[in-house]
Amino acid sequence: LCVWLLEGRWVGCKHCITGQHPPKNKRPKEPGENRIKPTNKKVKPKIPKIKDRDSADPTPKTQSIMTQLMDKGRFQKPAATLSLMAGQTLELRCKGNKIGWSYPAYLDTFKDTRLSVKQHERYGQLTLVNSTAADTGEFSCWGQLCTGYVCRRDEAKTGSTYIFFTEKGELFVPSPSHFDVVYLNPDRQAVVPCRVTVLSAKVTLHREFPAKEIPANGTDIVYDLKRGFVYLQPHSGHQGVVYCKAEAGGKSQISVKYQLLYAEVPRGPPSTTILASSNKVKGGDDLSVLCTVLGEPDVEVEFRWTYPGQKDERPVTIQDSWRLIHRGLGHTTRISQSVLSIEDFETIDAGYYICTAQNLQGQTTVATTVESS
């Protein structure tokens, strides 16, 4: 024979017998040798691809950390919008050892015991039992990055879903009142909050007088399922009483009515003035000091006083009040007042009377002097 193999490769022949040549593709088998044909193909080893982190987008991608409990103990990521029947129990979980939650303000306003929020070792849990149409709204969660007692929201780890709780006879999310006021400010959007409980409902906006439908044309007024009818650039011509109409499944329903009032006072710290009944008071006379703020109709104002007899615990009476005033052409302003009164003026009551008015946008301090005459 003239066939030798070295590690499965043809290497030549020695002492070949004349006239006998090995076949090109065959060779004799050794006793007991596996008859599977050896391969001579060279295979390139597969090198796993490694993502180049430096070339990736430096902006962290947001990953949804929210899951919803389904039937038989299954969990799945909820869609951007969900429709559930009223009465169902809702359970949401968000992965993380420190989770913040947001849910419809209705549940917070009334400190509803149907809602439970718990933090477990590896996830946060929100449970809502005996759901109603009024619970319709956005449910969201986020991870928190904490250093000591200071925590901030982790924008890379969030989750949210808007849930429609469908209830028989309730096409609109119920309102706590039968009539509501919406203030129109020229510097920001205004919302008529007719939200529905059925995703497929057709919703239209109507003026009570003169009776007509107000078109949501997409440029002046738009409809947002999660908010209601949005006035993009409110003006005094939008004033009046309006309501919404919803149609779904062959049924229709009218919402509560909304009074649209135009407010001319711009957003900002309180516009405050102070006035004393007299800046020179005789002993034994009465004194009153009035602090007045003109502001937006729906913005509350808090008052604080500093007065001469305060350290001596001089008895004074402080009375706060507010009312809406109409200043022509339907413009509406809120006037908030605080009155500090002193009976039987004494020498220790002479000095500076300081009023500080505060709202959500800031505070303003004014003062006046009262002398003893």
pLDDT digits (tens, 9 = 90+) for 145-193: 888 878 888 888 999 999 999 998 899 998 877 778 888 888 788 999 9
Name residue 139's amino acid: F
**pLDDT of amino acid 10:** 52
Q: Which of 63, 138, 149 is nearest to 98 (CA)?
A: 149
How would you classify the pairing of strands 212-214 and 221-224?
Answer: unpaired
Does residue 236 sit in the same domain as residue 328?
no
Name residue 184's amino acid: L
The residue to which tokens 């990953």 are assigned:
63
35 in a structural domain:
no
What is the dihedral sign for C-alpha 161, 167, 170, 173?
negative
Extract the residue ranges of the chain whose pLDDT is less than 70: 1-62, 109-111, 264-267, 326-332
Does residue 254 sit in the same domain as residue 277?
no
The 287-295 sheet, strands edge to edge: 271-276, 287-295, 332-342, 317-326
Does residue 312 sit in the same domain as residue 344?
yes
24 in a structural domain:
no
Does residue 198 sit in the same domain as residue 241?
yes
Does residue 75 sit in the same domain as residue 156?
yes
Does residue 202 sit in the same domain as residue 224?
yes
295 Cβ partners below 8 Å, 6+ apart?
A: 265, 270, 271, 301, 333, 334, 336, 359
**pLDDT of amino acid 149:** 78
Last residue of a domain, one of 134, 166, 198: 166
DSSP state of 109: H
44 in a structural domain:
no
38 in a structural domain:
no
Name the percent of the chain in helix, strand, coil, to the closest 5.
5, 50, 45
Does residue 185 sit in the same domain as residue 119?
no
**pLDDT of amino acid 243:** 94
CA-to-CA distance for 154 and 143, rounded, in angstroms? 5
Q: Is the peptide bond before 174 cis (omega within 30 degrees of 0)?
A: no
**pLDDT of amino acid 165:** 94
Does residue 145 sit in the same domain as residue 198?
no
**pLDDT of amino acid 219:** 83
Does residue 299 sit in the same domain as residue 367?
yes
The structural domain count of the chain equals 3
CA-to-CA distance for 216 and 195, rounded, in angstroms? 15
Last residue of a domain, one of 132, 166, 200: 166
Helix, strand, or coil (residue 73): helix
Does residue 188 sit in the same domain as residue 106?
no
Domain that holds residue 350: 271-372
87 in a structural domain:
yes
CATH number at residue 134: 2.60.40.10
- Two tokens, residue 241: 């009483």
Largest separation between any pair of C-alpha atoms in the chain: 147
**pLDDT of amino acid 131:** 92
368 Cβ partners below 8 Å, 6+ apart?
A: 274, 275, 276, 279, 289, 352, 353
**pLDDT of amino acid 179:** 79
Helix, strand, or coil (residue 236): helix
Last residue of a domain, one of 137, 166, 195: 166
Query: Whole-model pTM above 0.75?
Result: no
**pLDDT of amino acid 271:** 82
Does residue 254 sit in the same domain as residue 282?
no
29 in a structural domain:
no
Does residue 118 sit in the same domain as residue 149?
yes
What tens digit of pLDDT does each residue of 214-233 get?
988 888 899 998 999 999 98
Task: Compute φ and ψ for 347, nearest 5 degrees.
Answer: -60, -35
365 in a structural domain:
yes
73 in a structural domain:
yes
